Structure 1
Amino acid sequence: MFKNNSKENIFLSSAKELKKVQALSVCAMFAALSLILNQVASITIGPYIKIGFSGIPNQLADYLFGPVTGGLFAGILDVVKYFMKPDGPFFFGFTFNAILASLIYGCFYYKKKLTLKRVLLAKFVVFLVVNVILSTLWLDMLYGKGFLALLPMRALKNVIMWPIDSFIFFSITKVIEQTGVFRPLKRTA
């Protein structure tokens, strides 16, 4: 999964991205886009299911700048999104989920050829660990609805959204790559 047979390389390289003005500028642009999408492009179905597109800029940051930069970006952005549009009590578990998801995506995408298979696998890991298991646990802790009572509905939602989200992210990223917008960013990585 990692290039150069070393886990440390991917994390060190990603941490070095934080020193680059270009990376920080692009992350700021992605943050603005994510905040806009969070305000206008999400569908809430009951108190437990939310379908949104604000995660796409987060994943683009993970793809371009790796797990460390992406995780930091996701953690800060999660808190900012909450204060801009709170949809329940603040709970650090969801911020942890955002950071963990970015770490996972960054490990799968950073400095690697993006394929649909890679995106499907990364999304599956995130959906299973972060969305189904951890988010269900946090919802149980917050609302006391019972982990096993929430699990089937959340698992079904994620099984349905898994190929859809994967295809949307893969397609958008490939289209953007074809325009050449990412070339200068990848050259400096």
Structure 2
Amino acid sequence: MVSIKDIFLFSYRELKKVRTITTVAMFVAISIILGAFTVPIGNFLKIGFSSLTTVSIGYLFGPIVGSIFGAITDIVKYMMKPTGPFFPGFTFNAIIAGIMYGSILYKKPVSIKRILAAEILVSLLCNILLGTLWLNILYGKAFLAILPMRAVKNIILLPINSFMAFVILKFMEQHNLRKNFD
């Protein structure tokens, strides 16, 4: 079993590879394209699937690369299509999500349990709790007033996101895509 310290060390070493940097750049572009298809539902809810790129980067390159990918993607997406004021809390969420996905999925076999664990943690911490807090700070809306609708949205999307992540990562695993980067 690989320790969490080793996972972060291996992920850090991934940054020294040109193939990693170019692949991450392509995934940033894919994330921006997927982000263009995000559907806003009111002022405080959005449904989109660009998080699948963060899952993929976490699986391929680990938590360090995943966190950097999250930060870069969040900032570039904002620069390409700003929706409201820039708020660094959302960039922090993207960093934390990259760390979580990378810590749970990197150098491990794909399993629905592992993907569900990662999706639940990211949904709960980043999307429901911190995301609601950032909206509260940014717009002054009552935390408890917007929390239920954000929680319901994340609960509904959890099986959908988990299934899509499972399909994508299983495809990567079956075609040995991770081994191409070792």
The TM-score bracket by the shorter chain reads: over 0.9
1:66 is the counterpart of 2:62: yes
Q: How far does residue 180 in structure 1 lie from its aligned partner after superposition?
A: 4.1
8 Å CA contact 2:97, 2:126 repeated in 1: yes
**Corresponding residue number in structure 2 for 1:28:** 25
TM-score w.r.t. the length of structure 1 is 0.92
1:80 is the counterpart of 2:76: yes
| Aligned positions, number | 182
1:123 is the counterpart of 2:119: yes
* Aligned partner of 1:11 among 8, 12, 32: 8
> Secondary structure at the residue paired with 2:46?
strand
Deviation digits for residues 129-172 of structure 1 (CA, Å, limit 9, x no counterpart): 11110000000111111001011111111111111111111112
Query: Which amino acid is the alignment partner of residue 150 of structure 1?
Result: I
> Secondary structure at the residue paired with 1:154?
helix
Q: How far does residue 183 in structure 1 lie from its aligned partner after superposition?
A: 3.4
Displaced runs of 4+ in structure 1, greater than 6 A? none
Paired with 1:134 and 1:179, the residues of 2 have a C-alpha distance of 36
Deviation digits for residues 2-27 of structure 1 (CA, Å, limit 9, x no counterpart): x33x3211111100000011111111
Query: Which amino acid is the alignment partner of residue 16 of structure 1?
Result: R
> Secondary structure at the residue paired with 1:60?
helix
Query: Which amino acid is the alignment partner of residue 31 of structure 1?
Result: V
Q: How far does residue 178 in structure 1 lie from its aligned partner after superposition?
A: 2.9
> Secondary structure at the residue paired with 2:144?
helix
Paired with 1:176 and 1:113, the residues of 2 have a C-alpha distance of 11
Q: How far does residue 60 in structure 1 lie from its aligned partner after superposition?
A: 0.7
> Secondary structure at the residue paired with 1:56?
helix
Deviation digits for residues 42-85 of structure 1 (CA, Å, limit 9, x no counterpart): 11111111111212112111111000011011101110000101
**Corresponding residue number in structure 2 for 1:98:** 94
CA RMSD of aligned residues (A): 1.2
Deviation digits for residues 59-114 of structure 1 (CA, Å, limit 9, x no counterpart): 11111100001101110111000010111110000000000011011110000011
Paired with 1:134 and 1:94, the residues of 2 have a C-alpha distance of 8
Determine what percentage of the aligned residue pairs are the same residue: 51
Residue ranges of structure 2 left out of the alignment (5+ in a row): none
> Secondary structure at the residue paired with 1:145?
coil
Paired with 2:129 and 2:21, the residues of 1 have a C-alpha distance of 32
8 Å CA contact 2:35, 2:49 repeated in 1: yes
> Secondary structure at the residue paired with 2:171?
helix
TM-aligned CA distance change 1:63 to 1:139, over 3 Å: same
**Corresponding residue number in structure 2 for 1:161:** 157
